[in-house]
Amino acid sequence: MKGGKLIIFSAPSGSGKTTIVRHLLEQPELNLAFSISATSRPRRGKEKHGEHYYFMRLSEFKKHIKADDFLEWEEVYRDNFYGTLKSEVERLWAEGKNVIFDIDVAGGLRIKKKFPERTLAVFVKPPSVDELKIRLKKRSTESEDKINMRIAKASVELATAPQFDKIIKNYDLEVALDEAHKLVAEFIGAEAKA
C-alpha cells in the first residue's frame, strides 16, 4: 500500500473524537478524507451506508476477514465487528488524500503498528468517566445496558492512552479542536491556522 499519511483519533465513546474529526475534515489545508469503517452492527438513527459506515451482515463481515480484506478489524462487542477495509484506504490515497480515522483504541493501535512512520495516533481523553456517562445518555441512541457496557470498556481504553503518540484532553472543546488542528497540520506539513 502506497500513499499519504494516516491520522488516527481514538477514545472511549462520548469523548468527543467524532466532533474533532468532523472539524478537521472541514479544514481544506489539511487535505483529509475520512476512512469509512465497515461494521456488522445495525444502523442507528439516520445513519447511511457508505457515508457513516459500510454496513454488512455478520456473515459478510466474516468473509472479508477470511479474505484478508481488512487493514484491521475487531469484535468490539459480541457480534458487533468493526474494521477498516484496505480498499477504502487505497481509494482515498489514490485521490491524493491524507486519511483520517475515527476508530476504536485497539484498531487505531494496530494501524499505527503496521505504518509507524506515516501514522499519527491521537488519543482523546474525556474529563472523567462520569462525564462520559452523561454524554452517552444525552445521545439517546442506546439502552442503559449498552451505555453501561461502553462505560465498563472506557476504563480499559483509558489505560491504553500512553501507547498513542499524543493525548488531547477534551475538557474544553474549542481548546481540543485547536490542539488537534495544530498536531495534524504539523504532522502532515500543512500551514497551521493563525
Binding annotation for ATP = 11-18
- The one-letter code for the residue type at 17 is K
Half-sphere exposure (Cβ direction) of 161: Cα atoms closer than 13 Å: 14
Rounded Cα distance between 79 and 188, Å, is 36
Rounded Cα distance between 179 and 175, Å, is 6
Rounded Cα distance between 29 and 108, Å, is 24
Start-to-end Cα distance in the chain: 34
Binding residues, as ranges, are 11-18
Q: How many CB atoms lie within 10 A of CB 165?
A: 14
Pair 186, 26: CB distance under 8 Å: no
- Can you name the residues that pair with 120 across neighbouring β-strands? 7
